[in-house]
Amino acid sequence: MRIIGVDTGGTFTDLIFQDGQNGQDGDSWRVYKLLSTPRNPAEAVLDGLAAATGDDPAPRQVVHGSTVATNAILERKGVKTALVTNAGFTDVIVIGRQNRARLYDLAYRKEPHIVPDELRFGVGGRVDHDGAELAPLDEDAVRKAAEAMAAAGVESVAVSLLFSFARPEHENRVRELLADLGVPVSLSHEILAEFREFERTSTTLVNAYVSPKMKRYITFLMDRLRAGDALRIMQSNGGSISAETAMNESVRTILSGPAGGAVGAHEIARLAGFDKIITFDMGGTSTDVSLMDGALSLTLESSISGYPVKTPMIDIHTVGAGGGSIADVDAGGSLTVGPESAGADPGPICYGKGERITVTDANLFLGRLIPEHFLGGNMALHTDRLEAAFATMAERTGLAPAEVAEGILAVANTNMERAIRVISVERGFDPREFTLFSFGGAGGLHACNLARLLNMPTVFIPKNPGILSAVGMLMADVIKDYSHTVMLEAPKTVTGESRAATEALFAPLEARGREELAAEGIAPDAVVLERFLDMRYEGQSFEIITPFDGDYVEAFHGLHEKTYGYRNSGKPVQVVNIRLRAKGSPTKPTFEPAPLGGPEPAPEALLGEREVVFGGRAVTSRVVDRDRLAPGNVIQGPAVIVEYTSTLLIPPFADARVDAYGNLIIDIEARA
C-alpha cells in the first residue's frame, strides 16, 4: 500500500508520497504542490492524488489534514444546529464566562451565537454531581422539541445535560427520542466527559455544528478514491483518526493542518538533535507558531472564533501573516499587512490575477524570489505586473518603491515576532535558549530576520519545508484521547494501595481505548497507554495536567511551582479528571543520516548571482540549488537557496550548513 500525506492550505495543497513500494528510504519519498481550490478543497486533493500516483493501481493509505471544520466555524457556515439541555440552562452558552474580548471597547457587542435562542430547548430532568437521579427525564418535552426542530429544518443536534458524565442515561434516551429526525446527534458525555457545563456544551455544539459539513467533505473524497484506498484524518492533538471517526467527532480536527506541521517539526528536530525549538510555519494565508521544550505542547484551553473547545490540541498560536497577506496604507499613512489574504484566488499580483500587493510580491520585488525557479519552474511569476503597483503605493506613502517593499516585510516580521513572544516570553521562556524551526512555503524567506529580531542564535530549515505539514501527517501516531471527571482528594502520601485505587479508575477508559484502536487497525501489542491526572489545590479554579507516574502528588507540587512560582505542600490536593492517551504507531517514513563532506558546494549547485535588496541596498547574492547541496556544505550569506517547495534567504549576517539529514542549520550573526 502506498502512503500519501496531504495538507490543504489556503493557497497551496501539498502532498508527500512514496515513489515505489518500500517507502522506507528517505530518498523514496517525493513531493508535489498545487494551488488549492477554495470553493471545494477536495478537488485539489483529488487532482494531487491523481498526479502523484498516476495509473499505479496499488491501494493508497491517505493521511489528510483538512481545514473544513476550521473554516466552517470561522466563516459561520456550519449547519443549522439545535441544543437540548436542562430546563433553565439554555442561556449558559451565551452567558459563558462573561469575558470581554475587547476590554476597553465601550461599543463591543458579542456576535450572535451559532445556535439562536429559538433552537435552544430546555427539558425537565436532573442528575446530581454523583450521578444520582433527582428528577426523571421529561420525555414529552423532548418529543415536543423534536417537532419544533423538524419544523425549523434542523440539520444537527447537540445534547448537553448537567452531570451527564456521571450518569449518561438521560442523554442516551434523548438521542433515542430524536432518532426519527434523521439528523446526527452529538452527546456531551461522548465528546467531553468532564465537568464545567459551559465548556462541555460549547465543545459539543461546535462538534454538532461542523460534523455534517465534514461528513459531506469526507464522503465526497471517499466516493472518488479507488477501491482499496484508505483515508485517515489528522487531529488537533497530533494524531490521526479514521475517516469514520472524523465524520462523527469533527471537533477533534479543528487544528488538523497546523498539528501535522508541529508533529513533523518535533520528529525531525529530535532526529537531528534539537530538543528545544520554536516552530515557525509561514504559509500563504497565516503563520502558526508553537514552543516545544522537549515534547509537543498540548493545551485544553483552546477556542475558535470565541467558542471554547476543550479537546486536547497542540498548543499553536496563529496570526494572519502569510505570503498572501495583503499590504495596504491606513488612514494615518502607515503600512499595514494582513490579516486579509489574497489566498489562492486571486492570489498575489505576481501570480497573474491579483490586484493588491502581498508579502510574496514584496519578496519578489526585492529579488528574494527567483521567478524561473519558483515551484521548481512549474509556476510562472509575473514580475512585469509589480512596477506599477509598487509605484502607486510609493506615492501614497512618500517612500521609494524598494522602501515600500522592505517596509511591508518589516511589518509582517513584527507581527510574527509578536506571535512568538506570546508563546515564549509571556509564558516565562527565553527565545534565546531555543532554535527557530522554520517551515511552510514562505517561512524560509523570513526566518533569519525573525530570529535576529528575537536574538535567537540558530535557524533550522528541514528538507522540503513547504510540505512539512504533510510529512508530519505521515509521522503521526494514531491517537485517541479520553477523559472523565472524578473529583477525588489525593492522598498526602502516595502508597501502593492509594495508587491502585486511582489506577482502577482508568480501567473503563483503557478498555475503550484498546477497542477503538483495534477498530482503527492497530495491533494489540502496538498499543501504548499514557495516563494523566488533572490536579489542583483545593479551592483553585484550574488544573495542571500531571503524569500518573511514581509519586504523582509530588510531581503536581513540582509542576505547580514551575508554572506559578510556588508550592503549598500542606494544602489538600484534588484529582479533578483522569485522562488517558491511547497511541498506536502506523508505518512511517524513516530517514538515515549521510556522511559529512567538505564545506564547498559542488559547482553545479551554484546557479548564478542576483541583485537582492538588503537595507535599501542591492547586494550581489549567490543563487544555490538546494537539491545539489551535500551534507557538510556551507553557504555564506548573502544567498538565495531555491528548492521545489520553498525559497530560502540567507542574509549577509548569516551562514548556513547542511547537516547529515539534509537540513539547513543557519547561524545568525555569524559574520556580523
Q: If you average pLDDT over residues 153-179, what whole number do you get?
A: 97
Predicted pLDDT of residue 58: 84
The answer to whether 10 touches 25, Cβ cutoff 8 Å, is no
pLDDT in tens, 606-651: 999 999 999 999 999 999 999 999 999 999 989 999 998 899 999 9
Predicted pLDDT of residue 124: 97
Predicted pLDDT of residue 671: 54
Predicted pLDDT of residue 255: 87
Residue 494, classified by CB atoms within 10 Å of its CB into exposed (0-12), middle (13-18) or buried (19+), is middle
The answer to whether 340 touches 320, Cβ cutoff 8 Å, is yes
CA atoms of 464 and 466, how far apart (whole Å): 5
The answer to whether 327 touches 336, Cβ cutoff 8 Å, is yes
Fold entry, domain 76-210: Rossmann fold (3.40.50)
pLDDT confidence band for 20 (50 / 70 / 90): low
* Of 2-11, 23-32, 604-613, the least confident: 23-32
Q: Is the pLDDT reported for residue 495 higher than 80?
A: yes
Helix, strand or coil for residue 458? strand
Predicted pLDDT of residue 597: 92
SS (H, E, C) 333-376: CCEEEEEEECCCCCCCHHHCCCCCCEHHHHHHHCCCCCHHHHHH
* Of 330-339, 551-560, 595-604, the least confident: 330-339
* Of 412-421, 497-506, 583-592, the least confident: 583-592
DSSP labels, 603-617: GGGEEEEEEEEETTE
Q: Is the pLDDT reported for residue 672 higher than 80?
A: no
Q: Is the pLDDT reported for residue 21 higher than 70?
A: no
Predicted pLDDT of residue 22: 46
Predicted pLDDT of residue 26: 43
Which position has the higher pLDDT, 101 or 67? Answer: 67
pLDDT in tens, 341-374: 887 778 899 999 889 999 999 999 999 999 998 8
Predicted pLDDT of residue 25: 44
Please give the share of the chain, as a percent, with pLDDT higher than 70: 98
Q: Cis peptide before 184, with omega less than 30 degrees from 0?
A: no
Q: Is the pLDDT reported for residue 328 higher than 50?
A: yes
Q: If you average pLDDT over residues 21-45, what whole number do you get?
A: 75
* Summary mean pLDDT of the chain: 91
The residue extents of the domains of the chain are 76-210, 478-584
What would the grid cell of residue 233 be? Answer: 484524518
Predicted pLDDT of residue 23: 43
Q: Closest Cα partner for 582 from 532, 533, 546, 529?
A: 529
Which residues does residue 544 pair with via DSSP β-bridges, in sequence order? 535
Predicted pLDDT of residue 39: 84
What would the grid cell of residue 269 be? Answer: 528536530
pLDDT in tens, 373-413: 888 787 889 999 999 999 999 999 999 999 999 999 999 99
Q: If you average pLDDT over residues 13-25, what whole number do you get?
A: 67
Which residues does residue 13 pair with via DSSP β-bridges, in sequence order? 8, 34
Predicted pLDDT of residue 305: 82
Q: Is the pLDDT reported for residue 28 higher than 90?
A: no
CA atoms of 510 and 387, how far apart (whole Å): 63
Q: If you average pLDDT over residues 527-549, what whole number do you get?
A: 94
Fold entry, domain 478-584: Dna Ligase; domain 1 (3.30.1490)
Predicted pLDDT of residue 608: 94
Predicted pLDDT of residue 11: 76
Helix, strand or coil for residue 552? helix
